[in-house]
Structures are given as structure tokens and as C-alpha cells.
Amino acid sequence: MGVSTSYRESRLAAKVETLEKEKDDLVGNFTNIIRCLRAEVDKLKQEKAEMKTKLKELTTVNSNLRQQILEEKSMSGRKAPPEPIDDGELLSLGLSLVGFGPSRQKVRNELKLRRWRAHYGIAPKAVFKLMEDMKKYQAQPFNLLHLLMSIGWLKMYETEELLSGRWGLSEQTCRETVRDYQARIQSLKPRKISFSGLSRNCEFCPVDTVHIRCFEFRCDPSNKWYSMVSNHMVRKPPSIDDCVFLRGGSKDAPKATWDRSALYFHVPSWVKLVGDSAYDSQPDKVTPTLGSHAPETKKLFARMKSMQETFFKRCKDFNVLTNGFRHGTCTEDKLAKIKLAFESVAVLLAYDFENGHPLFEV
């Protein structure tokens, strides 16, 4: 009886040991399974995050494609007529783009030109010549609609939201396009505005400075930007002597340190500039009207100064130079953007002067 009990106990102990071992194996297997499942869950979470990122990218691409399709549809009726076109066809196209369709163009030519200038600032003939030169001298693809939109922006100085509504393009496309075509117009400055080819019979040229209204220079707050004349913040600090802009440096500084890009170093040797009393300190380049001058000389100088003021008036017919200039992230950027706008307008006016709209009648 004792042997039988001992045998049973040993069998039970062996069975318990076996069960404990199986239990440990099952716990180990279960732990491994949980670890694998957690790894799979982490992997699925990562894949889900990647899928979300890809979905976001695809959504953006799809949105851009939809925008492009909408822009193409909106511009489908605004394609330029087949080349070549003349300034008459350009006049018709430009008016149709700003709301004067064929039925509204059955008016006298004078009214059509007034409507054109109200939107573009210079004559169709001038824009046509500008278009030809951009195609001739610039390697970038040319788009007439983009050029007209950019000239219209300089003339009317609309916000990008208004441009987007008028031209059927996104705000970003309008912003980037106007910036690009401004720079392309400005790049023609050396060809259109220089003393090269000036006749030696031209003995005098007018000179003056002008104030350009702009928003406050927040990164450089100072009363040096304030004009008592226009009662606004201006591009050219009124506190700086006009002669500093002419010669590119202070008269107290050595001439060798003056900015060589200044007007002083580009005026032909046979030309004398005519200015007001602000230029008295630069008699080697500028002569003001003096009491000792003959009446004929005074009259000539008065007409030349009037011509300069007429040019400034023509510049300020463009709202970008009349309304408070609102662009620029810092002082340097604001000044650079004002320079870009002013020189672009000056180039446009140079084309206008040569194509039927001079400063004055001769």
C-alpha cells in the first residue's frame, strides 16, 4: 500500500512538472505572439501614417490639377489672335480682356483709346513694340496675356484677389506672373533709357527727384522717410540732399568713394543738367536758373523743368507709384520693389514716348 501511494505521488509530481513546463511554453509562445502582434500594429500604424501623407500629397496634386483645368477653361476664350497682330488687333484684344467685348467696341476710336489707357497706361502701339522687343531680346517664353496683366497691375495697382477675379488665374499665379514680367520689362532699361546715341546738339537735360508714397518703414522707423510736401511716407528720404542722389555720395566724401552707377558719372561731357536751387552745390554738372541769365535762357530752362515735371506726372498716372506702395517685407526689400516698379514704369513710358505720345508737342 505504501509503494502504491509513493508511485502515485511520483506520477502526479511528474505530471505536474510536465504541466508546468507546458504552461511555461504556452506563456512564452503567447508572449511571442503578443510581441509579433504589437510589431504588426506598429507597422500598420506607420503604413497608415505614410498613406495619410501620400493621400495629402495626392489631394494637393489633384487640387492643383483642378485649378489648372479651371484656369485653362476660364482662359479658353481669352487666347490671343493668330500671329502676327498689329496694334489695332491688340487694342481690340486688350479691351475684350477687361470687359469691353466686341459689341462694346463699336464706338469712336478716341473712346476706345481712353478705355485702353485707363487700364494699361500706354498706347497699344507702344505695347505692341514692347511685345516685339521682349520676343527679340529675351529667351523666356512670351505670353501676351501675362504681359497685359502685368502692365494693368502697374497701372491700376490692384490686389492679387482682384487680379485673380479679372484674369481668371489663381492669386499665386497672378503674384508670380506679375513679379516675373515686371523684371522682364525692367531688364529692357539699358536699351531704352541711356545717353547712348544722344546728339551733340543736345546741350541741356533736366534733372530732379521725386517722392513716391509708400507704407511706413516698420523695420526702420524714422522721420527721414516723411515728406512735408506730400504729407506721407516716401521712397526718397526728404532729409537727404538731392545732390547725394545725383553724385552717389556726400560732397564731404572723396569723389573716389562715390557710387559709380550714379547719374553724375553717366552724363555726357558736352551736356549740362538743368535743375532747381537744390542742385546749387553741384555746379560742375547742374546749372539752376540764375538772375543773370538772358530771358530766352530762363524760358528754355523753365520749359525743360516743366518737361521733367510732366514726366513725373506721367509716372504717377500709374497707381503703383501714386497709391501707398504696400509691398516689401523689410526696408531693403521694400526699396528694391519700389525701384523695380519705378523702372518698369519708366521703360513703359519710354516706349510710349517713341510711339505717338511724347512728353510735349514740338
Distances (CA, A) of 91 to 1, 85, 344: 125, 10, 21
pLDDT above 80 for 161:
yes
Residue type at position 57: E
0.75 exceeded by the pTM?
no
Say how far apart CA 150 and CA 180 lie, in whole Å.
9
How many Å is the Cα radius of gyration of the chain? 37
Q: What is the pLDDT of residue 147?
A: 94
* Mean pLDDT in residue range 107-126: 95
Give the chain's largest Cα–Cα span.
Answer: 154
Q: What is the pLDDT of residue 81?
A: 47
* Position 231 confidence tier, pLDDT thresholds 50, 70, 90: very low
Q: What is the pLDDT of residues 297-323, one digit of tens each?
A: 999 999 999 999 999 999 999 999 998
